[in-house]
Amino acid sequence: MRRDHRGYRTVMSPTTTALLVIDLQEGYFSAPELAAIRDRVVAGSVAAVAAARAAGALVVEVRTVHSEDPTTWALNMREDECPFMVRGTADVRPVGELDEVRPDGPDDDWVVVEKTRDSAFHGTDLLDLLRSRGVERIALAGISTESCVAATAADAYAHDLRVLLVEGAVLTPDTERHHSSLRHLEDLYRQPALPVSEIAFAAPRGGGGSS
């Protein structure tokens, strides 16, 4: 068995790789600490989307969207009585830069998934979507490394999906927390961060797996 410098065998054989773009929405970047990293993470994510689109890969735009009443709110929102990312408000609007790479009309290879918790798998049909397209590996871009990105990556591992983090397209304001989160995902789940140039995006096969 070939092992790399990290001590484990890196599985990079040709496989169907989709891109998930997580929470690139205006409401998040209204916070000063996230506004400071906006340009970097958005530029990295747009580059990842462009690469995925060029390869004909599936792109899943993951958005956090809550109802105005507390039925979808997370615990901290209920405790603080503070609604956030409410449907119909400017907060939930995707960042404008995604329009540069978004298809002009309906496109089966660009799908929007709405979530109400950190993980993009929780309470959504994301897993069924990926399996129906024969996706075996996902690349993650967006915010924030230690929260929604990490939660989605951990759930993907639980569903036997391989995960890559797109270097420069996954960020959080706290540099130390960013790097410790990446180390945790790589050490525990074998989910490395790689430059987009090293990620082999591939078109979905269109076959259906078991859900």
Query: Other CB atoms closer than 10 Å to residue 124's CB: what's the count?
Result: 17
Gap between the Cα atoms of 29 and 144, Å rounded: 11
Gap between the Cα atoms of 18 and 206, Å rounded: 12
Is residue 200 within 8 Å of residue 14, measured between CB atoms? yes
Instruction: Let me know if 148 is a catalytic residue.
Output: yes
b/e per residue 155-194 (b: at least 16 CB within 10 A):
bbbeeebbbbbbbbbbbbbeeeebeebbebbbeebebbbe
Q: Which of 41, 85, 120, 148 is catalytic?
A: 148
Is residue 209 within 8 Å of residue 134, measured between CB atoms? yes
> HEC states along 125-164?
CHHHHHHHCCCCEEEEEEECHHHHHHHHHHHHHHCCCEEE
Which residues are marked as active site?
148
